[in-house]
A and B are shown apart, each in its own frame.
Chain A
Amino acid sequence: MKNNGKFTITAGLAASILAIATPAFAEGDVVFASWGGSFQDALRSAMLEPAASALNVTVKEDTTNGIQDVRAQITAGAVAWDVTEQDLPSCETLSREGSLEPIDYSIVDTTGIPEELIHENYIGFINFTKVIAYRKDAFGDNGPSNWAEFWDLENFPGKRSMHGKVNYNLEAALMADGVPMAEVYDTLATDEGMKRAWSKLGEIAPEVTVWYRGGSQSAQLLRDGEVDVIHMGHNRVESVIASGIEVAYAFDGGTMDVDCLLVPKGAPNVENAMRLINELLSAEAQARLAVTMPLGPVNTGAFDTGIISEEQALLVNTYPDNYGKQLLVDPTFYIGQLGELTEEFDTLIQQ
């Protein structure tokens, strides 16, 4: 973990010094912060460099470790970023704290972006899905491919792994217990529904071999055959498949989360920020990213640009045929009770 952190910092420094996309005659700056690493490299070539030349601005890059960075800049009264990418709960939290500039929808074109991802102070950017993936050497072609089957140890015996955080696991438990996807968050809103989710999660908890900590660990577990079935990031599953391991997965019951773009209150170049957001959300930019990494464009127009082939599109979580099969995570559910839920979850998984 520590080494990864160092790497991110080093990579971040390198990015902020070296990666300045400048057209020949730049008129102004805009500072963009994302998660660094190979992900930000992909963003740079697919989105940031084309945006810089289209807008005729210099796009400077930085890296973020999360919500605390934005808060620190605002508290210190020294906002350095114009646009940053954050996860959905962080965006919603910052929005409620009044820390964001409203998105200027006269500049940002929302054509092709699902209604539920357009908010007053932030807007969806890229979709990430965790799917149920299984090794074919353990299950053949008919492994567990929905939550009821993931829970079913009798018909699908094998070692299981889930993410060691409360997020998505309560939702998965309810779906395993037969709650339709559309009713998951309504059920969780009631005390009774919450109890039902915990007791169902309690059934599988002792059977989970590994509660993994991060994305790279989940990939290692699947690749090395440490577990037979796992709920993990679908782009990482694709990378395991690409390394030659026989793995199958389906989007059904997958948990989809979204990263958003936001403009911190007091950003130095608000207008350029809005123009950059508009470029980042354009169908072409989103399509270019999807062919670099199988991450989901929020803009469904991306599939009509001709950049993504039909074959590639089937592997993308936001492809219209796939989108509706997944549960879109409701960030408001966790806000304000993440601490309590995490403690209850940790109590459940602790030996």
Chain B
Amino acid sequence: MSVAETYEGAVTHQNASTLKSEERRESMTFFGLSLPAVLAILVVVFLPVFWLSSLSFYNAAGELSMENYARIFESALYRRTFVVTFQISIAVTVICVLLGYPLCYWLTKVPDRTAAILMVFVLVPFWTSVLVRTYAWLVLLQRNGIINSSLMSLGIIEEPLQLAHNLTGSIIGMVHIMLPFLVLPLYATMRSVDTDLVRAAVGLGSSPRGAFWRVFFPMSLPGLFAGIVLVFILSLGFFVTPALLGGGKVQMLAQRIESTITVYSNWGAASALGVVLLLLALAMIWLMNRVFGLDKLFMR
């Protein structure tokens, strides 16, 4: 072994160890920076969830029991509540996709300036309180509301349509509130799609429609899936809109949790509903992950 070789080897070795320690220091710094957030999540999310979950295994008398879960699975009321919650969440998600996808696609086609102005129209309602927007819908949809009175004065309908105080009203209100959650991730993804690829496809002989479906659409999917998951999971836990626009007849899970607390003054019964909702939401995310491959999305 020559002197030079030894020297060179030492340098390499030294560089490697410096790099390694630098790397370690850097990861420690990042860990330190993320620590407050990790602690906050631990304290304000995991501990309460854990505490509430444990409460669900105690009955009103404070004994360990599965009573709270048994009631959920035995009672027709709770079953119906779960069915309604899922029906509404699916309907809201589907309508949001049907409205949101063309909107986002159109936004990518118009000049940037116009798109920015149009995005304001999406965002301003997003910044307004859910309660205010729900009451605004009530003003629009009710029997003597703006929609019914306009339609009647135009002679399109003779009797006012029942638009509020039912399932229709709840879904309309929820779609309006959820739409930005679909539009924002989807629009971001569509903007990042390289339009040259679509042009290349057309240049290579594809029809514009074929180029859209075979090139643009698949590349927009990650954003679409992210939006679908957001809208669906948020819809599962909705409270204000169905409570105000459902006329008391539309009862989703969050409303059932509230009434369980006020009627039974029993945290256990309400916690059990919360736990089931959480598990269902996790199961849905897992399922969507299997179907849509969401992990690819988060790896990006």
Contacts and interface: CB of A to CB of B under 8 A. Distances in A.
A211 B227 CA distance: 34
A349 B76 contact: no
Given A224-B142, A224-B144, A351-B84, A346 B247 contact: no
Contact of A343 (B75, B162, B247, B265): B75
Given A209-B162, A226-B143, A350 B77 contact: yes
B259 A342 contact: yes
B144 A225 contact: yes
A83 interface: no
Contacts of A153: none
A256 to B, nearest CB: 22
Contacts of A351: 84, 166-167, 249-250
A332 B76 CA distance: 27
A339 B264 contact: yes
Nearest to B265: A68
B249 A349 contact: yes
B81 A211 contact: no
A348 to B, nearest CB: 9
Contact of B248 (A211, A339, A343): A211
Interface string B64-108: 000000000001110011001000000000000000000000000
Contacts of B250: 350-351
A159 B265 CA distance: 34
Contacts of A159: 143
B248 A212 contact: yes
B131 interface: yes
B251 interface: yes
Contacts of B165: 209-210, 226
Interface residues of A, number: 24
A350 B249 contact: yes
Nearest to B77: A347
B248 A226 contact: no
Interface in B224-242: none
A143 to B, nearest CB: 17
A164 interface: yes
Contact of A209 (B77, B144, B247, B251): B247
B100 to A, nearest CB: 27
Contacts of B84: 350-351
A119 interface: no
A213 B243 contact: yes
B248 A164 contact: yes
A346 B259 contact: yes
A67 B263 CA distance: 12
B251 A350 contact: yes
Contacts of B164: 226
A226 B140 CA distance: 12
A157 B135 CA distance: 27
A339 B76 contact: no
* From B75, B80, B167, B249, residue with most partner A Cβ within 10 Å: B249
A189 interface: no
Interface string A210-223: 11110000000000
Nearest to A166: B263
A292 B76 CA distance: 46
Contacts of B166: 351
A338 interface: yes
Contacts of A339: 263-264
* From A347, A349, A350, residue with most partner B Cβ within 10 Å: A350
Contact of B249 (A1, A211, A343): A211
Nearest to A345: B77
B224 to A, nearest CB: 30
B12 to A, nearest CB: 64
A209 B263 CA distance: 23
B248 to A, nearest CB: 3
B286 to A, nearest CB: 29
B271 to A, nearest CB: 16
Nearest to A338: B263
Interface string A316-351: 000000000000000000000011001100110111
- Which 7 residue pairs spanning A and B have beta carbons closest together? A211-B248, A164-B248, A210-B247, A347-B77, A351-B249, A210-B165, A342-B263
Interface of A: 1-3, 67-68, 159, 164, 209-213, 224-226, 338-339, 342-343, 346-347, 349-351
Interface of B: 75-77, 80-81, 84, 131, 142-144, 162, 164-167, 243, 247-251, 256, 259, 263-265
6 contacts: A1-B243, A211-B247, A211-B249, A226-B142, A342-B259, A350-B84
Given A212-B248, A225-B143, 10 more contacts: A209-B162, A210-B247, A210-B248, A211-B247, A211-B248, A213-B243, A213-B248, A226-B143, A342-B263, A350-B251
